[in-house]
Each structure stands twice: as C-alpha cells, then as structure tokens.
Homo-oligomer: A and B are copies of this chain.
Amino acid sequence: MAASPTQIADLTWYDFVERVKANPIVFLPIGSVEQHGPHLPLATDTLLPQALATAVAERVGGLVAPPVAYGYKSQPKSGGGNHFPGTLSLDANVLIGLVRNIVNELVRHGVRRIVLFDGHMENQWFLVEAADLALRDQAMLGRDDVKIIKLGYWEFITKATEQVLFPDGFPSWELEHAAVMETSVMLHVRPDLVRSALIPDGPAAAFPPYDVYPFDTGPIPDTGVLSSAAAASAQKGEVVLAQVVPDIAAALREAFGPE
C-alpha cells in the first residue's frame, strides 16, 4: 500500500494545508453496518460510497474524509430491517450530530465545498438535517460561503445503465438492497469480500403500503436480500462505475461552479 493522495486519513497535516488551498471538494462517505444477505459483507454500504467517492475525487481533484461507518437503522423495505444480526445502527440524533460536527470541522479548516456521499438509503433525511444545522451553525458564526451537496450515488444511474443491470425490468432502488446493483459493484471493486457461491436468487419482496413497528417480519425474505441478486456480475459493476463516476464528477463541477 501507499499513502493515497485523495484520502484525508493518509495525509499529514502539512499535506492537508497544501491541498485545502485549492478549495477542493471534500467528500464524506456515509455508510452503515447492515446485513447484506449471505454473500455481501456488513460494511457494503460504507465500502461502496468510499470507492465511488474516491473515484470521483480523483477526477475533480477532491479529498475523501474518513467515512462515517455506522448509519441509521435499517428498515424492512430498503434494508431488510434492523433486527438482522450484525446490523449496528445509530439513533437519529447521533447520526445528525456526527455529520454536523464533521461538516463544521471541515469548514473550520477552510473547506467550503462538501459532498455528503451516501451509501445507505436510510441515512438520507438525517443528512438533510445535518446539512441544515451545520449551515445554521455557520450562519451563527457569520459565515455564509459554504455549499453542501448530498447525494446517493444510485440516483445517478441512467436509464441506459439500468437497462444493462436489469434487462428484464427494474424493480426499484429500495428493493435493490444487496441485489443486482450492489452485488455487481462489489464484485467489481471488492470481489474478495463477495461470497459468490452464496448469491441468493428468489422473488422480490412485496411489502404493504405502510410500515409496522415492531417490524412485521412476514414479508421480509429470510436472507435479508430484497430481490434476486443472481444476475449480478463484475462486468455490470464496471458498467455502473464507468457511467456513474464521470457523471457525478460532471454534476459536481457544475453544481459547485468554478473554484
């Protein structure tokens, strides 16, 4: 291994000073420790945004902060549910506070362009709150020049890529938990962590249009995988990255404008 020029974790503080002078986009990958079926590791939702954020950062001269490795409570319809063993989740106020703190700290050291790069669907709204509160903190400190972008990388997958991933029809991003897309990208970026022999096949889960607490485990597949992952392949994962990474890079360049 060698120190990566994109990972804040690997930089010395002297490096950090130099890099921040260029007003880089700083990416904060936000994941989870969540069941991902019999074939994917618990950290899937952290590994993927870290890999993708790094690839995007390389294109835009950005930096990647150490990921938030724990996320919000897994829900049946998008993650199988928090009751699955090994799923280690945070309360809303802790996740909000954690991301708010990190954003404020980056700003304190001169960063002004921040991407909350989400890998776990359940995190979304708490990232919204973290961004809003951090901007309020900055307003109270007299600063109004910070811009935060929140994204889920899957939202950038185009219809064309969807076609490659799901030639027989796209279920929905919620049901894609540990299924074709996530498995394919993992096969591409971390094949060592995929138990290929255990990739499950089975019908997509069907949920009622409401949510029950404590969870009604009836409609949840035993594996925790919400639709078949059988059609996953490293090649499909490569296609996803080849499309999504430059598209995110382009979108961010436009959204943040010139440095």
Contact = CB atoms under 8 A, between A and B. Distances in A.
B149 A212 contact: yes
Given A16-B85, A92-B126, A41 B9 contact: yes
Contact of A195 (B12, B131, B208): B12
Contact of A193 (B3, B94, B211, B214): B3
Nearest to A47: B9
A187 interface: no
A10 B139 CA distance: 32
A66 B33 contact: yes
A151 interface: yes
Dominant secondary structure of chain A at its interface with chain B: mixed
A224 B17 CA distance: 14
A147 B16 contact: no
A46 B195 CA distance: 28
Contact of A13 (B14, B86, B105, B135): B86
A132 B73 CA distance: 9
